[in-house]
């Protein structure tokens, strides 16, 4: 595929009191439908993150799960807290207390109770989604420090176990129960990941790295003692950290490892990730981090270990101009373009705003991480994933920084085009747009080995298409609980806009994409 930038055009934007002339970026792209292809697995939509384990019992969680499954056919979901006390797994010396009576030993005083674990995992599997099992956090009765509570609204305990024998026994019992209930053929397909972001305040072991390695060693050996077919990995760090020392450690100590997992967010800073003073922009931070870890694995004693970024997003904070808006479209498409071939999968955090890390959700549009806002309202990001799901599983090489060209199983060309611009605002307070974020981009496309007048279907996500925020802004961004009528209106406004139906003109097509816009084209043959 050939790409050429040509002279800038001009367009007039009419504001409230003035007319602004803005240059229009123009790019010519030539696409040969018979060009050689390379495999293009959909690594960006295999796994999603979600709120903590117990939320998986909620009806709205499962409804959102089904919606995202239908849109992306994703395979697994990762969440924190399967060992949290609200799941009730670990409860030795259990007592019951009725009103007015003294506490007494329970009739069933067994150490482990798998009732909620089973309901959580059954609910996923019944909807065609496997667990990506993050082994966290510490049960209160097992914690070395019962006061080591994380600042999240639900306050998980983040201390090491007071006795590693208790931890070992629980991990083995947990894994054995899963194998007994679901069968080794099923559970051997799952990923088991040790803890979450131990280099941050999610782990209070001291020293952090050495104490985490001890936790990993015990856990990995416990899992493998149940079956060598179970897959275990780590270090599940934030900021793409600790991978090289982790792999050196497991090699030196002969500890099992089946995959490497780590995290990064696009607004992480270079000092935390690379120990440099660079100003790495939001559109390339994830790629730079993925490439860094990919190269660290290649240089290790385990050069062929799969790499899984088990958390990533455009922001680690609640930034409504980032995660609530169509900005996600160009940002995500560009990350896919850059990260292809470097990682087995990347888990977008998260699929739903059924989520309580900062407390109970008060507004559907507060910069939540999910693709679906509270009250089952689709965000632009859901439509972004829905459109990009149409990309084929074979890629045609392109030098364009604003295009992905693929071939699907039916032999049709599927092309993604976008116009990246920085977000209109950053931080927790929403900035109302006062006009286009930047100039639109005009693509002059020419196709070879495609019917000269082939039909073209175009899906758009931008400020004016497939974007519920336009309707929410028009409502005056109401605070607090919405009325049922407002929810109904927003659900309708959040749907994918109807596809445009065009035709090539002698093998050519001109398409303009606005800033923060994504267009996905499917060509008939």
DSSP letter for each residue of 192-232: EEE-S-TTTTT---SSHHHHHHHHHHHHHHHHHHH-TTSEE
Kindly tell me the sign of the dihedral angle through the C-alpha atoms of 126, 129, 134, 137.
negative
Which contiguous run of DSSP H or E holds residue 320? helix 320-323
Q: Is 182 helix (H, G, I), strand (E, B) or coil?
A: helix
Determine which one of 296, 311, 319, 407 is catalytic.
311
Eight-class DSSP state of 378:
E
Q: Name which of 297, 271, 267, 272 is nearest 285 in CA terms.
A: 267
In our burial notation (b when 16+ CB lie closer than 10 A, e otherwise), range 104-136 reads eeeeeeeeeebebbeebbebbeeeebbbbbbbb
Residue 480's region, left for phi above 0, alpha for psi from -120 to 50, else beta, is left
Q: Which two tokens stand for residue 363?
A: 């507004």
Pairwise CA distance, residues 192 & 135, whole Å: 7
Q: Which two tokens stand for residue 117?
A: 């674990």
Q: Which two tokens stand for residue 256?
A: 């099992």
Determine which one of 27, 193, 197, 319 is catalytic.
197
Beta bridge partners, 519, equal: 417, 460
Decide: 120 and 129 in contact? Cβ < 8 Å.
no
All residues at 6 or more sequence positions from 252 whose CB lies less than 8 Å from its CB, including other chains: none
Pairwise CA distance, residues 267 & 273, whole Å: 11
Does residue 197 carry a catalytic annotation?
yes
All residues at 6 or more sequence positions from 311 whose CB lies less than 8 Å from its CB, including other chains: 49, 78, 238, 263, 264, 265, 347, 349
Edge-to-edge strand list for the sheet holding 441-448:
2-14, 19-32, 441-448, 508-513
Q: Is 473 helix (H, G, I), strand (E, B) or coil?
A: helix
All residues at 6 or more sequence positions from 255 whose CB lies less than 8 Å from its CB, including other chains: 216, 217, 220, 221, 249
Q: Name which of 478, 463, 455 is nearest 516 in CA terms.
A: 463
Does residue 311 carry a catalytic annotation?
yes
Residues tagged active-site: 197, 311
């Amino acid at each position: 595929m050939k790409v050429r930038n040509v002279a800038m055009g001009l367009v007039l934007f009419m504001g409230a009191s003035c007319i602004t002339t803005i240059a229009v970026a123009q790019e010519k792209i030539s696409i040969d439908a018979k060009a050689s292809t390379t495999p293009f697995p959909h690594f960006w939509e295999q796994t999603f993150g979600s709120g903590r384990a117990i939320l998986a019992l909620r009806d709205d969680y499962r409804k959102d799960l089904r919606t995202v499954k239908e849109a992306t056919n994703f395979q697994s979901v990762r969440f924190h807290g399967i060992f949290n006390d609200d799941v009730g797994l670990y409860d030795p010396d259990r007592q019951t207390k009725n009103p007015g009576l003294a506490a007494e030993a329970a009739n069933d005083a067994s150490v482990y109770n798998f009732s909620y674990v089973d309901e959580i995992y059954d609910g996923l599997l019944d909807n065609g989604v496997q667990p990506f099992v993050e082994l966290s956090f510490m049960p209160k009765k097992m914690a070395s420090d019962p006061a080591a509570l994380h600042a999240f609204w639900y306050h998980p305990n983040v201390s090491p176990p007071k006795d590693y024998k208790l931890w070992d026994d629980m991990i083995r019992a947990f894994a054995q129960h899963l194998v007994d209930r679901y069968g080794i053929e099923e559970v051997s397909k799952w990923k088991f990941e040790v803890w979450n972001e131990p280099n941050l305040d999610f782990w209070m072991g001291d020293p952090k790295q050495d104490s985490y390695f001890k936790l990993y060693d015990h856990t990995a050996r416990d899992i493998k003692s149940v079956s060598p077919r179970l897959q275990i990995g780590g270090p599940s760090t934030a900021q793409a950290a600790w991978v090289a020392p982790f792999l050196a450690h497991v090699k030196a100590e002969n500890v099992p490892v089946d995959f490497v997992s780590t995290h990064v967010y696009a607004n992480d800073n270079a000092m935390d990730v690379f120990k440099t003073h660079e100003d790495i922009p939001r559109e390339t931070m994830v790629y730079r981090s993925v490439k860094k870890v990919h190269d660290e694995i290649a240089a290790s004693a385990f050069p062929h270990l799969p790499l899984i970024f088990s958390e990533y997003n455009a922001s680690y904070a609640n930034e409504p101009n980032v995660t609530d808006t169509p900005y996600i479209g160009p940002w995500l498409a560009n990350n896919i373009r850059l990260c292809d071939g470097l990682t087995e999968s990347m888990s977008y955090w998260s699929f739903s705003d059924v989520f309580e890390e900062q407390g109970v959700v008060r507004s559907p549009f507060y910069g939540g991480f999910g693709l679906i806002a509270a009250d089952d309202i689709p965000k632009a990001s859901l439509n972004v994933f829905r459109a990009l799901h149409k990309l084929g599983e074979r890629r045609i090489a392109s030098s364009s920084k604003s295009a992905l060209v693929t071939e699907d199983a039916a032999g049709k060309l599927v092309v993604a085009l976008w116009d990246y611009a920085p977000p209109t605002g950053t931080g927790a307070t929403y900035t109302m747009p006062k006009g286009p974020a930047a100039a639109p981009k005009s693509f002059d496309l020419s196709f070879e080995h495609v019917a000269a007048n082939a039909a073209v279907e175009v899906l758009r996500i931008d400020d004016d298409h497939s974007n519920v925020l336009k309707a929410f802004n028009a409502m005056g961004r109401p605070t607090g609980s919405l009325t049922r009528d407002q929810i109904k209106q927003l659900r309708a406004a959040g749907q994918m806009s109807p596809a445009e139906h065009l035709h090539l003109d002698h093998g050519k097509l001109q398409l303009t994409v606005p800033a923060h816009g994504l267009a996905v084209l499917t060509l008939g043959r």
